[in-house]
Structure 1
Amino acid sequence: MAETFRSFIMLTNANVAGKYIYRDEFQILPAPDHFPRAPYSEAHHPCLLEVKYNFNPDSNKTMPDQTEVPDWIQRKDHEKKLIHEIARLFDVFSFSKFVFTQDQHSWTIRTDDNIAIEPEWRQLSYFVRGHQHEISEFTNSPVAQIDEIKTAKFYNFGARYTGSDFSVPDLFSDILDAYYSLDQDNKNAFLKSATLFNNAIRIKPISPSISFACFVSSIETLVDHLHKGVKIEKCKECSAPRYAVTRKFTDFLKKYSSESDEVIRFYKQSYSQRSKILHAGALFTGEHIPVEWAESDWEAYHMNSGIERICRIAFTNWILEKHSFPLSP
């Protein structure tokens, strides 16, 4: 099984000014000077993601018409899986993350050189001619390491500073160690939760209510995985489950987030609100009827930001526990 190195051009939500190296698995580097860049600090910024992997195509894999899947397609699928996995980990554990625009089209308006407003229908994408995708080894870059921020400070603040460079929490490498040590079943369960979490982030500007429900469901997905195959005892008198779903949800967060009475009340309120949104259409203020100029749904804002922070803390502690690291503060 031959070692393969690949270099991918990626876009991020923050400028990559340094390098991040995760063991001998992957590294992130600043884009070369000749790569096109947006003339703004808050934009989609190019960088390089270099990965190493071992891969053998499966000669038994077939297309729907029963023809053999070519080796190059299997390799591309494998690379896509690697990138997706890395991106999902950044989605959950870092505020600096990858941005994907491929295969999207939209009306665009030029914002440079004072050109008169003239909408154009364009494909949203980014590529650089002549970039060498196939490499023989990782690039030995002289740039400094990217900033690592104290994890507790990172999550308590709840966001990155506008215009700040690409950074990661200082526990990020430990988190990756823990993730890559998981068996495939646990990895798949976590990736499902991470995907729901990322969907919640993306949906938030469109629908805070559905975003909130996705945050709660990202936790519930992992809770359900942990109780998979566990027989739930039922009450002999009324046949109701003795271990109700709300209790499973709150017990998980008490263990991996906080046991304070105030936060436990928030867990229960969050699960109840999620049910109202999904089953009764109880949207947050302003979604079905636009808010007035002086009106704002601060409760929705605090619930959304609160559950997002709780997700990150709980997922961090759960995954670190799997690798016998002490729970983060």
Structure 2
Amino acid sequence: MNQTHTNKPYALHIPIRTGRNMEEIFRSIIMLTNAKVTGKYKYRDKFQILPAPDHFPQVPYSEAHHPCLLEVKYNFTPDSNKKMPDQTETPDWIQRQDHERKITHEIKTLFGVFSFSKFIDIHDNHSWTISTDDSDSIESEWRQLSYFVREHQYEISEFTNSSVSKIDEINTREFYNLGGRYVGSDFSIPDLFGEILDSYYSLCQNDKDAFLRSATLFNNAIKISAISASISFACFVSSIESLINYINKDVKIESCTECSAPRYSVTRKFREFLTKYSSNSDELIKFYNKSYGKRSKILHAGALFMGEHIPADWAESDWEAYHMSSGIQRICRIAFTNWLMERKLFSPNLSRDI
């Protein structure tokens, strides 16, 4: 991707021993998404996404938080060296829950970067709510914000064999050029998503951690955008910068013998990375330079986009903020995709049995 170039009944979980103290575990986790899941998507033998069963509560709106199932498979071996704060051994069930949380976080993070259809985080907090079922009622109620289905079977013995059709896969170039979802559209993914996942899961652990840091910054930028366009923009730029710094961690940077300034500037590394993994057009190279400069001004001088510290008049419109924010988000996605696809081409760890 480059700018230039009928569900099986749930069963009780029965661990399958695959080695000393190792369990092969399947879990069915209720998730919420920003688009309705009407098909299934299975990635190798790691996870699959399925529509929510008919008895699950559904929201009567197209644009809302929609339930679905995320089924995951993993091998687990308890670590007897892990300790609780009081230095007692960490129970196996806590270690399993921690491991599952890491797996689901990883999947959510990857979807957040590479797909406009993504998982929604639900935090168990309380808030005042007004029912939308009866338009005549405006009585406020204090409620917990959450989603729970009592009958759901969390422990399963294998992936559910569902007859539903596959989730739509959209041409990746068209997907990213569009810049978002159509209102009311179902859950979909780019057609290169499977290959992107192949590449990510073939990385060594240090490379995975580095990419997840960048991907987390990217997803945080999206979340922050509703609060501050300026800080969101800075996070998008930092998501790229974080990966660049990791890639160049072993590169020795020479300093000028006269002034001791580094010869290889941060802006230059930023520009060269995006020139290689996004586009080398003159117009976009100017945008890369401008973006890094704006990021520095935001973080070091508080130079926010217009209308953020002093609300803009109705007749005003901060087009610079809109175009720079939407532009850097698209560039980040394309650069991350190309960087991972390059890893796929040269990875000795990649096999068809991932």
For Structure 1 versus Structure 2, the TM-score category normalised by the shorter chain is: over 0.9
Q: Which residue of 1 aligns with 2:188?
A: 167
| Aligned-residue offset at 1:205 | 1.0
Aligned position for 2:54 = 33
- What is the aligned partner in structure 2 of residue 220 from structure 1? 241
- Structure 1 residues 214-253: aligned runs within 5 Å: 214-253=235-274
Count of residue pairs the alignment pairs up? 325
Cα distance, 1:114 vs structure 2? 1.8
* 1:305 aligned residue: 326
Alignment partner of 1:65 out of 58, 80, 86: 86
SS in 1 for 2:327: helix
Shift of 1:104: 2.4
What residue number does 2:120 align with?
Answer: 99
Matched letter for residue 241 of structure 1: P
Distance in 2, matches of 1:280 and 1:105, equals 37
Instruction: Specify the alignment match of 2:170 in structure 1.
Output: 149
Does residue 50 in structure 1 map to residue 75 in structure 2? no
Q: Deviation per CA, 1:168-209, whole angstroms, max 9, x where unpaired?
A: 000000000000000001000000000000000001011000
Hey, what's the Cα distance between the residues in 2 that align with 1:113 and 1:162? 24
Partner of 2:42: 21
Kindly indicate whether residue 109 of structure 2 is the aligned counterpart of residue 88 of structure 1: yes
**Of residues 22, 25, 39 in structure 2, which corresponds to 1:4?**
25
User: Given the alignment of the two structures, is residue 79 of structure 1 paired with residue 100 of structure 2, yes or no?
Assistant: yes
Give the secondary structure class of the aligned counterpart of 1:324: helix
Distance apart, 1:250 and its partner CA: 0.4
RMSD between superposed Cα atoms in Å: 0.8
Mapped to 2, the partners of 1:120 and 1:210 lie a distance apart of 34
Q: Is the aligned partner of 1:119 residue 2:135?
A: no
* Amino acid in structure 1 at the alignment position of 2:212: L
Q: Does 1:211 align with 2:226?
A: no
Cα deviation code 1:278-313 (max 9, x no counterpart): 000001111111111111101100000000000000
Distance 1:98 1:311 in 2: 19
Q: Which has the higher contact order (CA 8 A, sep 6+)?
A: 2
Cα distance in 2 for residues equivalent to 1:104 and 1:197 = 25
Aligned-partner residue type, residue 160 of structure 1: R
Aligned-pair distance for 1:115? 3.8
Gaps of 5+ in 1: none
The Cα of 1:226 is off from its aligned counterpart by: 0.4
| Structure 1 equivalent of residue 7 of structure 2 | none
Partner Cα separation in structure 2 for residue 37 and residue 8 of structure 1: 16
Give the match for residue 282 of structure 1: 303
Unaligned runs of 5+ in 2: 1-21, 347-354
What per-residue deviation string (whole Å, max 9, x for no partner) do you get for residues 211-230 of structure 1? 00000000000000001021
Q: Distance in 1 between matches of 2:291 and 2:262?
A: 21
SS in 2 for 1:2: strand
Deviation sequence 1:118-155 (CA, Å, 0-9, x none) = 22222110010121000000000000001000000010
Match of 1:200 among 215, 221, 244: 221
With normalisation by structure 1, the TM-score equals: 0.97
TM-score normalised by L of structure 2: 0.91
What is the aligned partner in structure 2 of residue 258 from structure 1? 279
- Segment of structure 1 superposing worse, 236-245 or 173-182: 236-245
Structure 2 Cα separation of the partners of residues 40 and 132 of structure 1: 26
The Cα shift of 1:102 comes to: 2.6
Taking the aligned partners of 1:146 and 1:212, their CA distance within structure 2 comes to 31
Distance in 2, Cα, partners of 1:104 & 1:244: 45
SS at match of 2:163: coil
Q: How far has the Cα of 1:113 moved from its partner?
A: 2.4
Which of 289, 292, 310 is 1:271 aligned to? 292
Q: Take 2:141 and 2:314, find their aligned partners in 1: how far apart are those partners?
A: 32
1:105 Cα deviation from its structure 2 partner: 2.1
